[in-house]
Structure 1
Amino acid sequence: MNARPVAALGVALTTFLAVAALLTDLLAARIAFSAIVGLPVGLIAGAAAGIATWARLWHSPGTRPPLLGTAAFGYALLGAAAVSYAVPPARSFVSVGTALPFGVVCAVVAFLLARRYDDRIA
C-alpha cells in the first residue's frame, strides 16, 4: 500500500488545524479578527509540513507510524466536523470535547496498526 500521499495530506491537515486554532486562540485577546492571522499562517505551516512529509520524512521507515498517526488525527477531526455539519441531530453530540478524544483514539489506533504492519506500508 502506498500511504505516502495519505500521510502527506493528513499531516498537512493536522498541522493546519493545530496551528490555525492555536494562533487564533492566542491572538484573540489582542486582535479582534485573529482568524485573519491564524488561518493563513496555519495554511502555510500545513503546506510546509505536507511537503516535508512527502519529500523527506517518508523515506525513513521509523517515522512512518508517527506520521500516519498524525494524519489520522486530522482526518478524524475533519470527519467529526463533517458529521456535525451534515447530520443535524448529531450536532448536540459532536463538539470539541468529543472530537478531540475521538481524534486521539484514531491516531493511536493508526499508529499501532502502522507499527504492527510496517512491512505492508511503502
Structure 2
Amino acid sequence: MSGRAVATLGTALTTFLLVAVLVTELLSARIAFSALVGLPAGVVGGAVAGVATWLRLWRRAALRPVLLGCSAVGYALLAAAAVSYSVPPARPFVSAESAVGVAVVCGVAVLLIARRYPERIPE
C-alpha cells in the first residue's frame, strides 16, 4: 500500500471520528439522539478529508508528515477500540481518555519520524 493510500484512509478516519464526536457532543443538550446527526456529519467530513488528501494535499511534500501524523491518530484510536472490544480483560484499562492520549502520542511520534526521514515516505 502506498503512503498516499495510508494517509488518505487514515485522515478520513481521523476526520470522521473528530467530526462525529464533536457534532454529537455539541448537539447532545438539544437533541436526544444527537448521534443520528453526528454520524452522518462525520461520514461527510471524512469523505471530504479523504478526497482532499488523495487529490490535492498529498502532492505537497511539506504536508506529508502532517497527513501521516493525523492518520496515525485515527489508526491508533481504531486499534484501541479493537483491543477494548476483543480483549475483555483489557476493557478496564482502555478508556476513551487513555485511548485519545495514546493516539495523540502516536500521531506526534509519526509526525516527527516522517519529518526527520522524508525520503522514506513512499509515493
Normalising by structure 1, we get a TM-score of: 0.98
* Deviant stretches of 4+, over 6 Å: none
* 1:28 equivalent in structure 2: 28
Q: CA deviation at 1:119?
A: 1.0
* 1:117 equivalent in structure 2: 117
- Gaps of at least 5 residues in structure 1 are none
* 2:81 equivalent in structure 1: 81
Q: CA deviation at 1:97?
A: 1.4
What RMSD, in angstroms, separates the aligned Cα atoms of the two structures? 0.9
* 2:69 equivalent in structure 1: 69
Q: Could you give the per-residue CA deviations for residues 60-98 of structure 1, whole angstroms, max 9, x where no partner exists? A: 000000000000000000000000000000000001111
Once the two structures are superposed, the pairs formed by residues 1-122 of structure 1 within 5 Å of their partners are: 2-121=2-121, 122=123
- The share of aligned pairs that are identical, in percent, is 63
CA distance in 2, matches of 1:95, 1:54: 32
Give, as a single letter, the amino acid of the residue that structure 1 aligns with 2:56.
Answer: R
* Number of corresponding residues: 122
CA distance in 2, matches of 1:103, 1:93: 15
Give, as a single letter, the amino acid of the residue that structure 2 aligns with 1:17.
Answer: L
Give, as a single letter, the amino acid of the residue that structure 1 aligns with 2:40.
Answer: P
**SS of residue matched to 1:21:** helix
CA distance in 2, matches of 1:90, 1:11: 27
Q: Could you give the per-residue CA deviations for residues 97-116 of structure 1, whole angstroms, max 9, x where no partner exists? A: 11011001100111011111
- Gaps of at least 5 residues in structure 2 are none
**SS of residue matched to 2:7:** helix
**SS of residue matched to 1:92:** coil
